[in-house]
Amino acid sequence: MTASDSDLRPVAEAAVPSWRGGFGRLWSAAVVSRLGDGLRAAALPLFAVGLTDSPILVSLVTAAGFLPWILFGLLGGAIADRVDQRRAMWAVDAARCALMAGFTLAVGLDEVSIALLLVLAFVLTTMQTLFDNAATALLPSVVPTAGLGRANARLMTGQTIAGTFLGAPLVPVLLGLSAALPFAADAATYLIAAALVASIRMPPRERAPRAAGRTLRQDIAEGIRTLWRDRVLRSLCTANTIVNTGVGALIATLVLHVTGWLHAGHAGYAAVLTAYGAGSVAGGLAAGRISELLGRIRALVLGLLFQTGALAVLGTVRSLPVAVGVMAVFGAVGMLWNVNEVTLVQERTPPALLGRVSAANRTLSIAGAPLGALLGGAVATAWGLNTPALAAAALFACGVIALLPAVIN
């Protein structure tokens, strides 16, 4: 499959998804669930620090949230294509609600250990591999194809606001009231999200008959082949993996860059993170119009060029205000990338394969982040705290090159 005209030309007459019906409930479920994710993601490391003073053990709690994608991401996509995605989503959220309710009880009884935190993070993310792939596959069933870009933008913007500006800031307040409260709130958000998804009414999906004896391994291989044979999606996935390696290098060392190289302290680090979140929201709000003006692939290429320049500035200019501005731009263009990436996968993949193709793309992309984190630590140790940003800039430039075949007709 080659790049279609709609991938390269401005997106004309994009439909605006209606808030009524399936999309409104799916959006609400996604935003409520992300609010809970934001609470848990901020609370778990703080909780871990109270249990151990070992940096390795604390970091393993975060690492446990990446590993399931590498181990089970492809499997989650294959299962998402075999089952009713709506039912899979609410069933997973119901299970996560029960899991978090049990953990909340353990916190209340003071029966929590680092081992339990590791298991919790691992199991929750394992279930998320099915949930996220099912959600990607379900969206085209509730939104017209022409409205997928705007729908993805609204979903991601709402999730960013909920997780970054609502969830994380609430954690210190909730922990001040009770150590168990953030986790109880997370369990409640899963329950609400499950009810919202379960309430979506849609006609039964027609599925092609599955060959007798067909295995999940064969299904996974079919998804990978489909991704590889599509020049646009292959280039997109390659570029995304390279770029995420750069993101991993940057994020893993950003606190050292701000507090050590810029000497801006914790307040400076908070300002940089806030700018990144605000930029992400702005990028989500503008993503639809930018894609309509430029076309999805051209928007991606130009976005990577902007991010490459921004990272080069971040690694060479020793100024907190510049860093704040750069991270705002970086977040805005990053959201533009995320919206167009997911939309292109949805537009170019046959519905029966969407879960598997999405899983293959997402799994390969996520695998770059931990590799990048190791790279960032290595170059910061060898050449200075600003060099991970420069290494990330070089990787983003390579991402531009990897994406160019998608532009060539």
Quick: pLDDT tens for 104-155. 999 888 888 888 888 888 898 888 888 888 888 888 888 887 888 888 888 8
Integer CA distances (angstroms), 112 to 59, 180, 268, in order: 17, 11, 33
Distance from C-alpha of 137 to C-alpha of 83, rounded to nearest angstrom: 11
pLDDT digits (tens, 9 = 90+) for 23-72: 888 888 888 988 888 888 777 776 776 777 665 666 566 667 677 888 88
Give the H or E element holding residue 303: helix 296-316
Q: Is residue 12 part of a domain?
A: no
Is 256 found in the same domain as 130? no
Q: Is residue 142 part of a domain?
A: yes
Is 242 found in the same domain as 332? yes
Is 243 found in the same domain as 100? no
- Whichever domain contains 237, its CATH number is 1.20.1250.20
Distance from C-alpha of 62 to C-alpha of 175, rounded to nearest angstrom: 19
Is 192 found in the same domain as 295? no
pLDDT attached to residue 11: 54
Distance from C-alpha of 41 to C-alpha of 65, rounded to nearest angstrom: 10
pLDDT attached to residue 2: 47
Is 145 found in the same domain as 282? no
Give the DSSP letter of residue 385. Answer: T
- Give yes or no for residue 101 having a pLDDT over 90: yes
For the chain, what is the radius of gyration of the CA atoms? 21
C-alpha torsion sign, points 378, 381, 384, 386: positive
**Amino acid in the structure at residue 206:** E
pLDDT attached to residue 50: 74
Longest Cα–Cα distance of the chain, Å, equals: 63
pLDDT attached to residue 382: 87
**Amino acid in the structure at residue 366:** I
Structural domain ending residue among the three candidates 146, 171, 200 = 200
Is 179 found in the same domain as 259? no
Name residues whose C-beta falls within 8 Å of residue 166's C-beta, 6 or more positions apart in sequence: 35, 38
**Amino acid in the structure at residue 253:** T
Distance from C-alpha of 91 to C-alpha of 383, rounded to nearest angstrom: 49
Number of domain units in the chain: 2
Q: Is residue 1 part of a domain?
A: no
Distance from C-alpha of 143 to C-alpha of 141, rounded to nearest angstrom: 6
pLDDT attached to residue 151: 85
Is 236 found in the same domain as 195? no
Is 186 found in the same domain as 141? yes
Is 136 found in the same domain as 260? no
pLDDT attached to residue 234: 93
Instruction: Name the residue among 398, 306, 305, 291 with its Cα closest to residue 336.
Output: 291
pLDDT attached to residue 53: 66
pLDDT attached to residue 230: 92
Name residues whose C-beta falls within 8 Å of residue 96's C-beta, 6 or more positions apart in sequence: 124, 127, 187, 190
Give the DSSP letter of residue 282. Answer: H
pLDDT attached to residue 13: 43
For range 392-403, the mean pLDDT: 95
Q: Is residue 29 part of a domain?
A: yes
Give the 3-state secondary structure of residue 347. Answer: helix
Is 224 found in the same domain as 195? no
The mean predicted confidence, pLDDT, of the chain is 84
End-to-end CA distance of the chain: 11
pLDDT digits (tens, 9 = 90+) for 163-207: 877 877 777 788 788 888 888 999 999 999 999 998 887 765 555
Structural domain ending residue among the three candidates 200, 227, 259 = 200
Q: Is residue 210 part of a domain?
A: no
Integer CA distances (angstroms), 348 to 6, 148, 221, in order: 11, 12, 18
Q: Is residue 3 part of a domain?
A: no
C-alpha torsion sign, points 230, 235, 238, 244: negative
Rounded to 5 degrees, what are φ and ψ at 150?
-65, -35
C-alpha torsion sign, points 354, 356, 361, 365: positive
Q: Is residue 206 part of a domain?
A: no
Give the H or E element holding residue 144: none
Alpha helices of 9-84 — where are they, by DSSP H?
A: 22-51, 55-63, 67-82
pLDDT digits (tens, 9 = 90+) for 206-251: 555 555 567 888 888 988 999 999 999 999 999 999 999 998 888 8
What is the domain range of residue 50? 22-200
pLDDT attached to residue 10: 52
Q: Is residue 344 part of a domain?
A: yes
Is 189 found in the same domain as 232? no
Instruction: Choose from 163-172, 284-293, 333-342 the range with maximum mean pLDDT.
Output: 333-342
For range 247-260, the mean pLDDT: 84
Cβ atoms of 90 and 150 within 8 Å: the answer is: no
- Give yes or no for residue 100 having a pLDDT over 60: yes
- Cα 274 to its chain centre, rounded Å, is 18
pLDDT digits (tens, 9 = 90+) for 339-366: 898 889 988 998 888 888 988 888 888 8
Is 250 found in the same domain as 180? no
Distance from C-alpha of 205 to C-alpha of 212, rounded to nearest angstrom: 20
